[in-house]
Every structure is written in C-alpha cells, then in structure tokens.
Structure 1
Amino acid sequence: MSEHEEFWDARYSESTRIWSGEPNTMLVTEVEGMVPGRALDLGCGEGGDVVWLARRGWRVTGVDVSRVALERAGEHAKEAGVADLVDLQWHQLGESFPEGEFDLVSAAYLHSTVEMSREAILRAAAAAVAPGGVLLVLGHSGWATWQHTPPHDVHLPSPQEVYDSLGLAEGEWVLERSGEFERSQNSPDGEPGTRTDNVLRVRRLAA
C-alpha cells in the first residue's frame, strides 16, 4: 500500500462519513445545462459529485486512491438508484489513469498533504477530454477564515497557475472561466467561516 493510499484510507476511516454527500456547488453551477455524456470525476471521494452527475443522465467514471471512499461512493450510487450509470475505479493518479475520452473531466479540490504530482495529473486530465468537452478544475485559494495558522505547508495555486501548468496546445482550447469565489465553511467544531476557492474551466475545440 502506498503512502498516499494509506493516508486517505485512514482519513476516511476516521468516521462513517467525511463529506456532506452533496455535490460541490461550483460543479453544479458550471455543469448544469450541459448535455449529459461521459464524465470523469478525479478524486471522487464518497461520491457526492458522481451521484449528482448520474442523476442527470451522465455516465460517470469516479476515481479515487482510497478503497474506503470508493466503497462508500458505490453505496451512495446504489441508494440513489444510479449504480448502472456509475463506474468506480481505483487509481493511484500519477501512476495510472482511466482509459478513454470524456465530455467532462472534473478535478475538484485535488489537494493532498502527501506529495502528489498534481500538475502531471491535471495534464493527463486535459488529455482525456474529448473534442468539444470540458475540463473543470476547482481548488482552494487559501485557508478557511477560522484556520488562523495554515495547517499544512501545501501550495494552493491560482487558476492562472493551473492554466499555465496545463501546457494546452494553442488554437485547440478556449478558456471559458478563470476566477475566485467565496463559500461558507464551518470548522470541525461548528465555528462558522468562509473560504475563498477558485475555478478554471476550459473547453477543447471540436475537431
């Protein structure tokens, strides 16, 4: 078992549920209205985004390094009645990657305190976007307001840094959104706060 897998299995094993089970708000904002097709969710966790997409007719491949998380995502998909639209795969991203092309590739909050080749993973994500498809990258711009001292020494890139690191071929992509947004996030103790995150959305031009 790799250090990355061990870390995230332990993290998910801390409680019966880590996340809310709801989709990421910005994913909903950016994807609602798109014609459903094939979607890839990198770092799908317990499946909140996977299930939301499948409920809207997307055929979704969800990927995570934690088998604990994938098991919960599978249970969530079954409870939601969309298991037939969901393919959950274990991957150590950076070492292996799902096959095929996708109309939507989403990488939401793909950060880790364990060393991870995030830039290489996002370049692989871009390569997996089908002609006419979208790459959506959500990330943290900074720490939550109640985190007065940064808990980890992790670089949180701006959307421009992410865009530059993708190395997209000129004339083959169009930048549709790049910016920051603020959302509410409570501390583990229930203290209310806010967090500034960022969004990058690029579309591969149709052939």
Structure 2
Amino acid sequence: MTDDIATGSPASDAPTPPDGYVGDPAVREEWDSRYADRQQLWSGRPNGALVAEAAGLTPGRVLDVGCGEGADALWLARGGWDVTALEVSSVALERAAGHARDAGLAVRWVHAELAHAALPPGSFDLVSAQYPALLRTPDAAAERALLAAVAPGGVLLLVHHAGMDTQQPNDSGFDPADYVWPGMVAALLDGDWQVEVDEQRPRLAPEGGAGAHHTDDLVLRARRLR
C-alpha cells in the first residue's frame, strides 16, 4: 500500500460510525488526509511482486489488504479473481470504486481495518498484502487476521519494502516498532503452513507514485496446508 507508513495508535474498540467504517477513527483520518493531498497517490499499476507471484495461481477468492486506489484489485478482477478489497481510507475507496466502475469490473469493497473487519475465517484462496500499514498490537491481531483469512490450500502473499523494519524512529513520528513486518508473520507460521518464498529481492516497481524510490522487497509467500 505505501512506503510512508501512517502514524497513529493501535486500533481501538471504537463503535461503528454512521459511514460503516470499522476501526480506529484516527487511522482513517490519517490516511484520508494523505490521499486528499494528491489527486493520485500511487502509480495506478499493479505491484510487481503480486503480478509475479500470482501468475501461476488459479483464480479464486482473493482479499486485497490495504487496496489503496485499487490498482491491484482491478488487475486481479481482470484476471478472473473474485475480489474483496479492504481499505481504511474513504477517499481511496471512492477512487478505487470509481476506477472499477469505469472499467466495468466487480469488486467487493470493505471500509475497515483488517483486525476489525470480521471477515469470514478461511474464506480466501489468496490474501494479498502489498506494503500494508498494519499496526502492531500486543495480541498480534493484524498478523493473526492475515493468517485466519486464508482458506486451506490457499496462499498468503505479504510484501514490504526491505530495510524499513530496521530504520530508527524519526521526527515525522514513524517508528518501525509500531508496525507489522513479514518476519513477524513468518514467526507465527506453524505446521499448518508451508513457506514457499521468504526472501529479499529487487523490487519490480511500477513507474511513478509514492514509494517508487524503494529498490528491494521482502516477499513472504506461504501456503496453508489445512
């Protein structure tokens, strides 16, 4: 989703507001502000790691975590996937839904933080999280939500920018200790999972958009066996 991860506190148990959003209002407001600052934040092209890793998969049900302006969701829908796309920013979701309408593509949009979305467990053949800004909590709620969403036989694909997890806290408020990184998710994998890819590789970056300066990816791809 991003290279400049949002600041903010871990998700709260706030009630659902009238617009249907489920999650911490501060997180939604932070990302709404970021998207509202630009007419287009991202490149509009699908992420390279997703294209490479999904190429050999049989289309089925997919969850796009942190879908942003919808480039990945639309690419998956064009490829025959049944797409559910989750995003905290209403500004981003409106743009994504508009792109889908213009393209004549059907996507199921969910306005929520992942840990609060109450998605049906084990219901997705692919869970794709491309550079997600998932807040870390003591109970590892976001990590466990990623794993719980994957159906038996399905794949979790988690991609992040290499090196961000080891950066020092800075004046902008970014602290890597606040966020979920691929290694944290990998540490939760047990005998029910087979790790197919766990590596750092050169990034296949779409031109333009925020985050284009990052050169390497951390890629975790794991299959749920049962």
Normalising by structure 1, we get a TM-score of 0.82
- Give a deviation string over 1:114-157, Cα, whole Å, max 9, x none: x55494212111111111100010112225xxx9x966322477
For the Cα contact (< 8 Å) 2:133–2:180, is it kept in 1? no
Shift of 1:169: 3.3
**Structure 1 unmatched runs, 5+:** none
Shift of 1:67: 0.8
- Give a deviation string over 1:62-101, Cα, whole Å, max 9, x none: 0001111111110111122212xx1011112323332350
The residue number in structure 2 matching 1:92 is 113
Which among 1, 6, 9 is matched to residue 32 of structure 2? 9
The residue number in structure 2 matching 1:42 is 65
Change in CA separation of 1:193 and 1:5 when aligned onto 2, cut-off 3 Å: closer
Structure 1 CA distance for aligned equivalents of residues 200 and 146 of structure 2: 21
For the Cα contact (< 8 Å) 2:63–2:128, is it kept in 1? yes
Q: Which has the higher contact order (CA 8 A, sep 6+)?
A: 2
Q: What is the aligned-residue RMSD (CA, Å)?
A: 2.8
Which among 21, 45, 64 is matched to residue 22 of structure 1? 45
For the Cα contact (< 8 Å) 1:133–1:203, is it kept in 2? yes
For the Cα contact (< 8 Å) 1:186–1:193, is it kept in 2? no
For the Cα contact (< 8 Å) 1:42–1:64, is it kept in 2? yes
The residue matched to 2:176 in structure 1 has which SS? coil
Change in CA separation of 1:136 and 1:31 when aligned onto 2, cut-off 3 Å: same
Structure 2 CA distance for aligned equivalents of residues 3 and 11 of structure 1: 12
Change in CA separation of 1:97 and 1:195 when aligned onto 2, cut-off 3 Å: farther
Change in CA separation of 1:58 and 1:162 when aligned onto 2, cut-off 3 Å: same
Shift of 1:185: 8.2
The residue number in structure 1 matching 2:96 is 73
Structure 1 CA distance for aligned equivalents of residues 209 and 40 of structure 2: 13
The residue matched to 2:154 in structure 1 has which SS? strand
The residue number in structure 1 matching 2:145 is 124
Does 1:136 pair with 2:157? Answer: yes
Query: Which has the larger strand fraction?
Result: 1
Structure 2 CA distance for aligned equivalents of residues 34 and 200 of structure 1: 15
For the Cα contact (< 8 Å) 2:156–2:223, is it kept in 1? yes
The residue number in structure 1 matching 2:13 is none
The residue matched to 1:45 in structure 2 has which SS? coil
Structure 2 CA distance for aligned equivalents of residues 26 and 92 of structure 1: 23
For the Cα contact (< 8 Å) 2:41–2:209, is it kept in 1? no
For the Cα contact (< 8 Å) 2:43–2:206, is it kept in 1? no
**Structure 2 unmatched runs, 5+:** 1-23
Structure 1 CA distance for aligned equivalents of residues 53 and 218 of structure 2: 13
- Give a deviation string over 1:35-57, Cα, whole Å, max 9, x none: 10000011111001100000000
Q: Percent identity?
A: 44
Structure 2 CA distance for aligned equivalents of residues 55 and 173 of structure 1: 29
For the Cα contact (< 8 Å) 2:66–2:86, is it kept in 1? yes
